[in-house]
Amino acid sequence: MSSVVFVIVCILSVYVSNIEASSSSVISTPFSVGSRSVLRSIERDRADKPDYAVELNATDFDVVLKETPATYAIVEFFAHWCPACRNYKPQYEKVAKLFNGADAVHPGIILMTRVDCALKINTNLCDKFSVGHYPMLLWGPPSKFVSGSWDPKQDKSEICSIDDGRTADRLLNWINKKINSSYALDDKKYENEHLHTNASDPGQIARAIYDVEEATSTAFDIILDHKMIKPETRASLVKFFQLLVVHHPSRRCRKGTAKILVDFHDVSANKESPIVGEQVALRNYQICGKDVPRGYWMFCRGSKNETRGFSCGLWVLLHSLSVRVDDGESHTAFTTICDFIHNFFICEECRQHFYDMCSSVSNPFKKARDFVLWLWDAHNKVNKRVMKEEASAETADPKFPKIIWPPRQLCPSCYRSKTSKDKDNTRIDWDHDEVYRFLIHYYGETLTTLYKDKELLTERKPDSMLSEDLIASSHAVVVPVGAALAIAVASCAFGALACYWRQQQKSRKPRKSWN
């Protein structure tokens, strides 16, 4: 009889252990930086649960908070047995819905998480953050939570307690005061290829810089993965890199591209097989730095994994380059971008359409304004074509259908009169001066000035991930302060490289010219 009881006790023990293990392991599948996003990876494993706040435990707490591109994080410490916590959860979820998940209205700004302190696996984690009551909410930069701690007696901690968040309204009001924002619980997603809700909020547009960085890194990876650097395409790639070094909106992409250009001669010094050796060597370079977000797509995130993402990010990159060039370099920038797409964009049909649009330009651009407006018009032509194709094949992103851009809601002054339709074509009487002003502001100043505003940083010094990435370019390459010796060496090397390439170009047979 005692042996039977012992067996039953053992079975119950295993059963209880399995229950606790499953409840404490919310994320069952490890995610990678290359996944669509941290949140989406988590959501796939919790598809049966509608929660927007990401429930973490001691095993994934540091990883998730380290990988998130969000500027801020909120951690709710609770206990699943606590009635007050259960009652508070719907309030917390209302706010989390604005910032977390595939349908977030304001993605990439605040990562809202929860930790169940009633689980033994989280005991030490909750102790590190001095959890003395439930629920307890802490606010701070995500990186400060990683391997961190909090003590209410600390005076200078970047982590602070949210003392007035008992309802969704009060919590959101606390957030708005903290970061000088104006979010509302009834904010809706504005479904447009390039724009999330609240277009007037620079925070929404400025975060496209992350996607521009990711698109740049993805394009570089594609070029290497598909071994697209050939003798006849090499000069085209170098010219594009030269354009990025001066005009890329992200400082760390300018810095990474400059490093590649400076070392380009050295990495191609393999005499037996220069192109193969070059592509192998280039894999050691990270064009936008090692900390660039990968797989998140905040501004360009589609409602499906296969929509938007890279193509949207690449368009934003091209527009951001176009508004940064001067009159004297406008046609060179045009030919550089046309050559790059022709040689390195792997979608054959899209590449051919872009080639045709470039070939239709009969006269060189003399003004930067002309180039900016040409690229904008080309993008709208692409949208018109893709709209029809997606409608026919039923492949459009239902939440982000292609539109003619910018919409009237975003730039009413861009429209001279009401739109008219002629058969299947929509005719718009554009005010091109207003469109140009809008594009300069939208892809220039607005895209990169958010992080210059110290008020929006709310006393937060940029973390390593943000310290280099969001400083706007104007017309110069920015180099880290204190690197005097490196600057001198790089300048000499870059000058030598320029001379080398001038000699190479003199002896190279000219390729087809876009004019």
Model confidence pLDDT, tens digit, residues 341-362: 999 988 888 889 999 999 999 9
pLDDT confidence of residue 481: 34
Rounded CA-CA distance 301/311 in Å is: 11
pLDDT at residue 251 tops 60: yes
pLDDT at 283: 75
* CA–CA gap between residue 154 and residue 95 (Å, rounded): 28
pLDDT in tens, 412-439: 899 987 655 544 566 889 999 999 999 9
Q: pLDDT value at position 426?
A: 65
Q: Is the pLDDT of residue 372 over 90?
A: yes
Q: Which residue has the higher pLDDT, 467 or 39?
A: 39
| pLDDT, mean of residues 482-505 | 43
Which of the four pLDDT bands, split at 50, 70 and 90, describes residue 69? confident
| Residues 210 and 108 sit within 8 Å (Cβ to Cβ) | yes
Greater model confidence, 166 or 467? 166
Angle at which helices 310-322 and 368-393 pack, to 10 degrees? 160
What is the DSSP pairing of strand 136-140 with strand 110-116? Answer: unpaired
Compare 116 and 27 and report the one with higher pLDDT.
116
* Beta pairing, strands 54-56 & 420-422: unpaired
pTM for the whole structure:
0.55
Strands 110-116 and 54-56 turn out to be: parallel
The pLDDT of 329-337, averaged and rounded, is 96
> Higher-confidence residue: 229 or 56?
56
Residue of 85, 253, 358, 414 marked catalytic: 85
Ramachandran region of residue 32, left (φ > 0), alpha (ψ -120 to 50) or beta? beta
In the predicted model, what is the mean pLDDT of the chain?
Answer: 75
What is the pLDDT averaged over residues 70-90? 91
Q: With bands split at pLDDT 50, 70 and 90, how would you rate the model's confidence at 311?
A: confident
Which pLDDT does position 489 carry in this prediction? 43
Task: Quickly state the pLDDT bin for 340 (edges 50, 70, 90).
Answer: very high
Section 3-26 average pLDDT: 42
Cβ proximity of 115 and 75 under 8 Å: yes
pLDDT of residue 33: 33
Query: Active-site residue 411, yes or no?
Result: no
For residues 300-329, average pLDDT:
86
Residue 471: which of 452, 457, 444, 443 has the closest Cα?
A: 452
What's the confidence (pLDDT) of residue 205?
Answer: 55
Other CB atoms within 10 A of residue 417 CB: 10
pLDDT tens sequence across 98-118: 999 877 888 888 999 999 999
Provide the 3-class DSSP secondary structure of residue 358. Answer: helix
Can you read off the two tokens belonging to residue 61? 């707490």
Residue 268 burial class via C-beta count within 10 angstroms: exposed 0-12, middle 13-18, buried 19 and up: middle
Q: What domains are there in the chain, each with its CATH number?
A: 26-185 (3.40.30.10), 208-477 (1.20.120.310)
How far CA 114 is from CA of 14, 65, 75, 95, 250, in Å, comes to 27, 12, 5, 13, 33
pLDDT at 424: 53
Q: Which pLDDT value is given to residue 271?
A: 45
**pLDDT at site 405:** 87
Residue 487 has a pLDDT of 37
Identify the pLDDT of residue 49.
Answer: 52
Mean pLDDT for 395-402 is: 76
Strands 110-116, 72-78: parallel, antiparallel or unpaired by DSSP?
parallel
Answer whether 234's CB lies under 8 Å from 267's CB.
no
Among 25-29, 55-59, 298-302, name the one with the lowest average pLDDT: 25-29
Mean pLDDT of 114-127: 94
In this prediction, what percent of the chain has a pLDDT beyond 70? 67
Dihedrals phi, psi of 384, to nearest 5 degrees: -60, -45
* Amino acid identity at 452: K
Whether the pLDDT of residue 498 is over 50: the answer is no
Residue 393 has a pLDDT of 72
Is the model's pLDDT at 455 over the cut of 60?
no
